[in-house]
Amino acid sequence: MHSMSEPPEIITPQDQAGSTGYQESWSFLDDVKRRFEATQPEVYAAFIKALSNFYTSTQNPTGNSEAVLFETHETVKALLQGHGDLLERFERSLPQEYLYRRHEAAATRQS
């Protein structure tokens, strides 16, 4: 925690570029691109569009972020069907609370 006399810490893109999460994100996007761009470019384009729509929607503070996250997750699951390794990596980037609520909701529907 910073005191009032200290400026807040500012994280620059260069700082982020060194972080493991940032590097994994770029690596993941590159892997999705390599997997689909040559043989199924429409899948890669739809994937990027889904992420872009998610980002745009989360910048709107009046929106329902849980619904947007759910819609993005469902879209990406459909796009990455048959590519469990990529889907698993995508789901690792999702908030744990969201995944827990999804798991609980699925368990409730099954009982």
Whether the model pTM is above 0.85 = no
Quote the pLDDT of residue 17.
52
Of the chain, the percentage scoring pLDDT greater than 90 comes to: 46
Over residues 41-67, mean pLDDT? 87
List, in order, residues 6 or more apart from 60 with CB less than 8 Å away.
none
Contact by Cβ (8 Å): 98, 69: yes
Quote the pLDDT of residue 2.
44
CATH top-level class of 41-110: mainly alpha
For the beta carbon of residue 36, count every other beta carbon within 10 angstroms.
Answer: 20
Rounded to the nearest 10 degrees, what angle do helices 65-79 and 84-92 cross at? Answer: 160
Average pLDDT across the chain, whole number: 83
Report which of 30, 31, 27, 68 is spatially closest to residue 51, judged by C-alpha positions. 68
Domains of the chain by residue range: 41-110
